[in-house]
Amino acid sequence: MPLRGSSRAIPSKNLRRLAGRPLFAWSLEAAVESGCFDEIYVSTDSSEIGSAVEREFSSSVRVIGRPAETATDTASTESVMLDFQERVAFDVLCLIQATSPLTRAEDFRRAKQRFADEGADSLLTAVESKRFFWTRDASPVNYDPANRPRRQQFRGLLMENGAFYFTRAATLRTCRARLGGKIAIHHMPDETGVEVDEPLDWLVAEHLVRERTRRSGRLAAQGGEGR
């Protein structure tokens, strides 16, 4: 998980508390609970973030320094991945993004199984979108306006939700990108299409996280009463 200390749209975004916890803690906890990974790392240019990660996860997550040139506003996430590859040996790297706090442990497990079953070189996560898309020059992208389909009959498209990605070491080295070779897709629930990049995203994500937490607590309580 790459975590920058600075953020323009939402200041100190990665440390800011969403539903009572730092933003990074939600998806990072899901990764830890999934049991999918031999090692989990956070790459950060911020000592404050590093300390917060260590407080939240103690020995289950390792913190490594992130070079300044990979933490600028214009630096690509791939630059962090390639730097990591220079320092840590791996067969498959999972890039986890803190901006997707609705990621569940089960998503990692199912994605890992799909990745293996399909013999994929890389994997992305996505949600279904049944919206009609147009280019800026007013050309339809995914439907015929003269034969507008009913929503129930429209297959739509898959939209990347940016929750996490799997990339084989050889694929990252050759393509210098998170996706390449044979690509698999793990489908996630509609609400996980929210990525926390803007203030409005924060409000929506916090509401969804609180609602999921409330439902989980209620179900746990109901289960306890039934034993």
d(CA 13, CA 6): 8
CA distance 57 to 59: 6
Listed in sequence order, the DSSP H helices in the chain are 23-34, 47-57, 77-87, 105-117, 169-175, 199-225
Angle at 69 between CA 67 and CA 71, to 5 degrees: 75
Q: For the chain, what is the radius of gyration of the CA atoms?
A: 19
- Active-site residue list: 148
Asked if 168 and 181 count as a contact pair (C-beta separation under 8 A), the reply is yes
Distance CA 14, CA 149 (A): 41
The answer to whether the beta carbons of residues 97 and 138 sit under 8 Å apart is no
